[in-house]
Amino acid sequence: MMRVLVTEPIAEKGLAILREVAEVDLRRLTPAELVEAIPAYDALIVRSETRVTGEVLRRGARLKVVGRAGVGVDNIDVATATELGIAVVNVPGGNTISAAEHTFALMLALVRNLPQAMAALQAGRWERQAFQGVELHGKTLGIIGLGRIGYEVAIRARAFGMRVLAYDPYVSPARAEAIGVRLVDLPELLRESDIVSIHAAKTPETARLIGAREIEMMKPGARIVNCARGGMVDEEALYEALRTGRLAGAALDVFSTEPVTDHPLFRLPNVVVTPHLAASTREAQEFSGVQIALQVARVLRGELVPEAVNLPPVPPDAQGEVVRYLPLAEALGAFLGQAFAFPAGEVEVHYQGPLAETAVQILTHTVLKGFLARRTEEPVNYINAPRVAQRLGIGVRESRQAVGGGSPDSRITVRLRGAGGGSGGGPGGSGAGAGDRGVRSVTGALTPEGRVRLLEVNGLPLDLVPGRYQVVTRHHDRPGMLGQFGTILGAAGVNIAGLALGRERRAGEAVAVFLVDEPPPPEVLARLAAVDGVLEARLVVLPLGEEPA
C-alpha cells in the first residue's frame, strides 16, 4: 500500500481523504530525520515549517508528489522536484480571506497601538494619552502584488475609506480600476503610500524586494505590513529605519528565518509581530487540508493534476477541454515512439482547430510522456518529460493553426524528425515514399464519444479507433500484401480485430495498422518484416486499456 508522510498538522477531513488511498503517518521530524525517513514514502505533505530540500527529494526514491497545505512553495526545491518527476501541489486560494483579514488585523493593531496598550493595562497602567493612534480613513495604502490576497485587501481598504495604489506588472489596469485601485510603478507607490502592504509571491526577483534604497523612497513616518513571505523585506534595513524613526512602524507575520523567537525587531516598541498566523483560521486550515489531500490522492491514483506548480499553467475555464485531450496526446506520442525504427532528433506537436487557441503546453508534455515511455528506462511523467527529452538530445517544438469560421474538430499531429537531419529509413530497405523524407508523423482526433481516433500516419490518410495492441507495417503497395500479413498473424493465433490502410499512391508506399487482440511474439513480427516489399513491421502498445476497442 502507498504511504503518505504528513509532517505538520492538517485538517482531520483531509487525513480521512488520504486514508482512502494510502497509509498515513503524522510525524514531526527534524531535517536529518526527514532525510532518513523519506525513502519509505510515496507522498509528503508539509506546511511552511518543513524544508523540502534537494537532498530530501533525491532520497525519496518512491516520492510521486509533495503537497504544500498553503500557498507559497519557497520551502520546497521545486527545480529538483521537476528534474525528478515529482509533482508539487499547493492550495493557492485556500487562505485568501484569512490572510486579507489578518492583514487588516495587523494594520489596525499597528496604527492604534493595540498590543502596547493591552500590555500596559495588564501591567496595571491606564495610559490613554501614550497610545494615541491614527485613522486608516483618508490614508493611502500601497499594495505590492494585486493577486488573490492583494485584491481582497484592496476591497477592504476601500471600505475603510482609503485611497489604494497597487504595483503589479502582471495585472491589467482594467482589473485594478474595477475595484477603485490605481496601478503605479514601485517608486511612485513607495513615495505616496502611508502604509505599504506586501502580497507578492516570493521569487528570485522579489527576494529583498524592500531594502534600504526602497525604504529611503518611502514617505517619512510611513508604515510597512508584511503578511506575504519572509525575506522580502531587508530586516536589518527595516530595523534601522524603525529605530531612527524614519518609519513609524511595521507589522510582520513572516520572517526570513522561521521559526524565530529572538529577533532585534521584537524589541522595538513600534513593531507588531505574529508567528506566521495569516492562514491560521479554522476555515482556512480545513479548506487547505481537504484540498491538498484531494490533489495528493489524485496524483497517487495516477491522475494528472493540472494545478501542479511544476506543470505548465492551464486556465481553470480550459482545464476540462485540455484534460479531455490527454489520452489522445499520450496515445499519439506512444504510437510514434514505437511504430518506426527512427532516430529521434526533434518532436514537433502541431495543434489544429479550436484546441490551438487554448493552453496546450501540458498536452505537449503528455505527448513526450507517451513518446519516451518505451525509449528510455528512466521514469517519465508529465512533470519531467521535457527534461528527459533534453537529456536524450531530442528537441521539442510546438506549433498551432487555429482555423477560422466553420472550424473542423481539433486535431493533433506529432512529427518526428530524424537526428542529424538524416533520412532515418527503417530496417529492411528505404523507399521513396512519404515515410522516408526524414519525418515520421501521426495525426489524431477524438470521436464524438471522446475516444482516440487515428486519421493519418506519415501523411497517409486512414481512419481507425485504436486499442491497446496494434501491428504497424510500412510497405510497398502491392497485390496480396495484406493477405500475407493476415496469414502470418492467423497462423500464429493472433486475432485481427480491425484494420486501417493508408497509401501514398498505387504501387507507392503504404502503412497498415492491424488492431489485434494480443501482442504477437517477436518471431511473428520478424516473419512480417521478412515479407518482400515490407520496410518495417512493429508492435505498438498504447495506453488505452487492456483490450482493443
Give 424-463 as a DSSP string.
-PPTT---SSGGGSSEEEEEEEE-TTS-EEEEEETTEEEE
Mean pLDDT, 10 residues at a time, over the chain (549 residues)?
96 96 96 97 95 97 95 90 94 90 98 96 94 97 95 98 95 92 97 97 81 97 96 96 98 94 97 95 94 96 88 84 93 96 91 92 95 87 91 93 67 88 35 56 95 96 96 95 96 96 87 96 96 96 66
- In the annotation, is 229 catalytic? yes
Nearest 5°: the CA angle 136, 141, 144 is: 150
For residue 107, what pLDDT is reported? 98
Q: What share of the chain is helix, strand, coil (3-state, %, to 5)?
A: 35, 25, 40
- What is the side-by-side strand order in the sheet with 223-226? 181-183, 163-167, 140-144, 195-198, 223-226, 249-252, 271-273
- Rounded Cα distance, 163 and 189, in Å: 12
Neighbour-count burial of 547, counting CB atoms closer than 10 A to its CB (0-12 exposed, 13-18 middle, 19+ buried): exposed
Catalytic residue among 156, 199, 276, 417: 276
Domain limits of the chain? Answer: 3-93+283-300, 96-273, 316-541
- Rounded Cα distance, 487 and 476, in Å: 18
The CATH number given to 316-541 is 3.30.1330.90
**3-state class (DSSP) for residue 482:** helix
- In the annotation, is 478 catalytic? no
Q: Which CATH superfamily is domain 3-93+283-300 in?
A: NAD(P)-binding Rossmann-like Domain (3.40.50.720)
Catalytic residue among 8, 258, 398, 518: 258
For residue 428, what pLDDT is reported? 29
Backbone angles phi, psi at 164, to 5 degrees: -120, 125
Question: Distances from the Cα of 390 to the Cαs of 123, 372, 517, in angstroms?
Answer: 66, 11, 35
For residue 425, what pLDDT is reported? 36
Catalytic residue among 229, 440, 476, 503: 229
**3-state class (DSSP) for residue 65:** strand
For residue 545, what pLDDT is reported? 64
For residue 202, what pLDDT is reported? 81
Q: What is the dihedral of CA 195, 200, 206, 207, to 10 degrees?
A: 80
Pick the closest to residue 70 from 271, 284, 251 (CA basis): 284
- In the annotation, is 59 catalytic? no
For residue 431, what pLDDT is reported? 32
All three cell numbers of 195, joined, read: 502604509
Q: Which residue has the cell 490527454?
A: 326
Whether 3-93+283-300 shares its CATH topology with 316-541 is answered: no
Q: 96-273 sits in which CATH class?
A: alpha beta
Pick the closest to residue 273 from 308, 233, 321 (CA basis): 233
